Structure 1
């Protein structure tokens, strides 16, 4: 090749070279190519740029040019995305915590791992009617206020109680969105966040996605241990605690009355916020449900999360953050960066539902149904799963927390259970660090009826026996 060779000619020669190499192989340096093909540096640069535009090579400044995909080994129908492994250096989004590690559930599997209530328990008729009325409003498709509709914020403030006002409420697209906003608004990336152990995996995922480092604090039968919480604040310097004081997921624990004030006092003395996830406020099994921590907090220590999704339906993506002081302004700013506002028709429908007597009737009926399902599944697990121990019979929520016999691997059992036609959740996913023992979280809300709950426990026992 002489000095008059074009960059196109050189690009053709390099394509032939790349076709004989493997992905990741390094091409000769620009100096070597200049010498070998007797062209100028600018010609080499243009030829390399052409191949990079095609995706055949990738250039790494200071390192060289490497084979990427495409021309290697002939035609490539599916492409090669291996380069993303290098590009995605930020590992803060934990895909194992937000997805199902065992993959899609096969047809016919009994869902004892679900986090939503079965369709037969949902107020679908009332929801459909409310959404239809909301869609007919003249302003149905207008922009909603960033903080949420004033009337909806008023109703949500009344549900939370205490001295909470509508100005203290920010409407969100469900509880998970609220958690994501709060973690990013309250704590700086790289800082620790204290969490109950065990706790909700998707809260761990949201915290890590915000760049935070979850630090576990153990629970006992009365909830979060204040003595260990004080130690954890002192040792880590954390400025945020995430907890679920009422019907905790996965254990179902309710934080004892005397500990509620202790938790707030410890956090306040540490100059820290308490992120209270009150997802199960409407999931009591018929008994008294304790007041949320935020209802008795006048100093802005508590950032409260609530949601209508769990007691309503999976697509009723309406939740709220409740807070006082500058932290609320920070969360409003994060919400504007994220998505501006929650769609107005859904807010109007939620307002219709909450303002109707049918909502209270639904909550009461749901509580009775969940109480009966909980008892049926608990009896079936104790009968059908040898060596299984219930850590307690919950008085609210959607799940049982079951300790497995010594030597049983909860992940292996969850996989075996799938093969026997029942889906359960391995307990290890609920721990921010090493689990204390092997557990399963077994849900009683997503199955179709009592017969499915009993059959699911039988299949689980068979999987354990095998």
Structure 2
């Protein structure tokens, strides 16, 4: 059992003990708690810190730990109805980015989700990187608004394009980068073109910025340049959001012959492309194509990448790469938002990327994702032959599944929950009306690859 889980258990024991004490009563000493519960002094210290943060105990150095006085409850519930009028219609719609069904039960098999399971994360390398970063004498100094130069240089080299550190802005993960780019490039009421389907987090970020998502159809080779040109002409849009490599949710890779076309169409329209390259390190054994940024010579492409997906959810480090005034505009948005990304996190990212363990992790992750993807596809073919898997992708974390005609994807998701399996209903991935019923199934969110087949088996007849 980990130290953190042991301290949480001890905190629960102490909460029960506090129930029999009066405010001001002294708790047993640390030595007594160590002997009574057979735990380490570190565990006791952490448990007491948890209770202190909750306001349940007060620690007096040299005297001990005492039960705290319960906080006073308000005499009546405040009337906040006036806020509905004051806030007008500026609601932030998160329905696309969040599952409307709420979080699944802890015991459910996770065939939904956009992050690696803890067993696939480089936790030891991350912990070591954070520890080394914390020992740097300047770890808690203010970081530049644009980010540490050495980290910006690493991201610039990673694009394979003709860019340098001066063309990079460090962000607090990919979602933060999306929000910055959308607000910097377009204004409230402006259209933003998006592949259909697309990443729900991008839909939410665009709508929160006051933008109007406009769908552009895809086929097996990615977004269609002919329809993209039509959409630019009809809407007057000056912004396209797309995922050319291992697209979420379909897994599509934009065909080589289309990559230069897409950039040329946007350039002709006087528009920017926000290229979300979240999955560059999530390949299944094949090298990904060069980013659209490498096809761009005029500053059309704003490239977005992140370490969150291939590492861990809380490594909130990403980068926007762009040339020209648009980078200055995005840097200004970053400044007024929160000044800079915390320096310890940037230093930890530098330590991680510079360690031999990072490349080993990426190789092992690639092999495991390939195995899991095939296992999920095989289980679907065996148990659900009427369901259509559009493609077995060469990268990413998901399979995109079309259900038989007349199906209801939300109903499938609800019934799957009852069977103990979490799946993603497809309709929230579309900027407009979906053309059918789809499910997005994750193969990297479960603890074991064997859970994939079991989850699909339980989907056979969810009741």
TM-score (norm 2): 0.82
User: What corresponds to 1:47 in structure 2?
Assistant: none
Change (3 A) 1:112 1:266: same
Change (3 A) 1:451 1:303: same
User: What corresponds to 2:372 in structure 1?
Assistant: 373
SS in 2 for 1:462: coil
Structural mapping, 1:129-278, within 5 Å: 129-278=128-277
Unaligned runs of at least 5 residues, structure 2: 1-73
Structural mapping, 1:430-445, within 5 Å: 430-445=429-444
Does structure 1 residue 329 correspond to structure 2 residue 320?
no
User: What corresponds to 2:46 in structure 1?
Assistant: none
User: What corresponds to 1:28 in structure 2?
Assistant: none
Q: How far apart are 1:359 and its partner, in Å?
A: 1.2
User: What corresponds to 2:344 in structure 1?
Assistant: 345
User: What corresponds to 2:19 in structure 1?
Assistant: none
Q: Is the 8 A contact 1:146 1:340 kept in 2?
A: yes
Aligned Cα root-mean-square deviation (Å): 1.3
Q: Is the 8 A contact 2:99 2:424 kept in 1?
A: no
User: What corresponds to 2:41 in structure 1?
Assistant: none
Q: Find the aligned partners of 1:90 and 1:424 in 2 and give their Cα distance.
A: 32
Task: Please identify, of 439-448 and 349-358, the stretch whose mean Cα deviation from structure 2 is larger.
Answer: 349-358
Structural mapping, 1:48-197, within 5 Å: 77-91=76-90, 93-197=92-196
Q: Is the 8 A contact 2:192 2:211 kept in 1?
A: yes
Q: How far apart are 1:450 and its partner, in Å?
A: 1.6
Q: Find the aligned partners of 1:450 and 1:444 in 2 and give their Cα distance.
A: 8
User: What corresponds to 1:65 in structure 2?
Assistant: none
SS in 1 for 2:459: helix
Cα deviation 1:245-265 (Å, max 9, x = unaligned): 000000000000010000000
Q: Find the aligned partners of 2:139 and 2:374 in 1 and give their Cα distance.
A: 43
Change (3 A) 1:123 1:437: same
SS in 2 for 1:96: coil
> For the pair shown, which has the larger CA radius of gyration, 1 or 2?
1
User: What corresponds to 2:29 in structure 1?
Assistant: none
Cα deviation 1:219-259 (Å, max 9, x = unaligned): 00000000100000000000000000000000000000010
Q: How far apart are 1:142 and its partner, in Å?
A: 0.3
User: What corresponds to 1:429 in structure 2?
Assistant: 428
User: What corresponds to 2:291 in structure 1?
Assistant: 292
Q: Find the aligned partners of 1:330 and 1:439 in 2 and give their Cα distance.
A: 38
Q: How far apart are 1:98 and its partner, in Å?
A: 2.8
User: What corresponds to 2:354 in structure 1?
Assistant: 355
User: What corresponds to 2:388 in structure 1?
Assistant: 389
Q: Is the 8 A contact 2:130 2:344 kept in 1?
A: yes
User: What corresponds to 2:23 in structure 1?
Assistant: none
Q: How far apart are 1:93 and its partner, in Å?
A: 1.6
Q: Find the aligned partners of 1:167 and 1:220 in 2 and give their Cα distance.
A: 36
Does structure 1 residue 452 correspond to structure 2 residue 456?
no
Question: Alignment length, in residue pairs?
Answer: 390
Q: Find the aligned partners of 1:211 and 1:391 in 2 and give their Cα distance.
A: 33
Q: Find the aligned partners of 2:226 and 2:298 in 1 and give their Cα distance.
A: 22
Change (3 A) 1:389 1:129: same
User: What corresponds to 1:283 in structure 2?
Assistant: 282
User: What corresponds to 2:38 in structure 1?
Assistant: none
Q: How far apart are 1:216 and its partner, in Å?
A: 0.1
Q: Find the aligned partners of 2:424 and 2:139 in 1 and give their Cα distance.
A: 40
Q: Is the 8 A contact 2:245 2:277 kept in 1?
A: yes
Unaligned runs of at least 5 residues, structure 1: 1-74
Q: Is the 8 A contact 1:92 1:211 kept in 2?
A: no
Q: Find the aligned partners of 1:322 and 1:313 in 2 and give their Cα distance.
A: 22
Q: Find the aligned partners of 1:134 and 1:108 in 2 and give their Cα distance.
A: 35
Q: Is the 8 A contact 2:263 2:295 kept in 1?
A: no
